[in-house]
Amino acid sequence: MLTLNDTSLETFSFGDKDEDLFYILINLSKNPDGIDLAKLSVADPRRFDAVLNEMGCLLMLSGQEVNELVNRGDADKQNLHKSLFELAKQEGILP
């Protein structure tokens, strides 16, 4: 079972809008280096999910989705890593 210390929260922005910002919860035991944007940018779109999985992605949310979770009280913007980890655990997403 993963612990919070086995994960990292990475953010990537591809523009200025909330939908251009992505939060990715990473399994550090699977990939201690996190997401490789160069590799991801050349990934076959049909294998995009598989490439993310290979890089240790446990959960990927857009900025809009994170804002909605925060507004509903399901995530804490001040402690986003921990709150998204706990939410993923509650939802059965974590291995």
Question: Does residue 13 form part of some domain?
Answer: yes
- Structural element, H or E, at residue 61: strand 57-62
- Name the residue range of residue 9's domain: 4-90
Give pLDDT, residue 42.
87
Give pLDDT, residue 39.
86
- Structural element, H or E, at residue 53: helix 48-54
Give pLDDT, residue 14.
77
Q: What is the arrangement of strands in the sheet containing 57-62, beginning at the earlier edge strand? A: 7-13, 21-27, 57-62
Looking at the 3D structure of the chain, how many domains does it have?
1
Contacts of 40 (CB under 8 A, 6+ apart): 48, 51, 52, 55
Per residue in 58-92, pLDDT (tens digit) is 999 999 999 999 999 999 999 999 999 999 999 99
19 pLDDT higher than 80:
no
Per-residue tokens: 20: 């251009």
- pLDDT averaged over the chain? 91
Question: Does residue 51 form part of some domain?
Answer: yes
Tell me the three state secondary structure of residue 31.
coil
Question: Does residue 19 form part of some domain?
Answer: yes
Give pLDDT, residue 81.
97
Question: Does residue 75 form part of some domain?
Answer: yes
Mean pLDDT of 4-19: 86
Question: Does residue 95 form part of some domain?
Answer: no
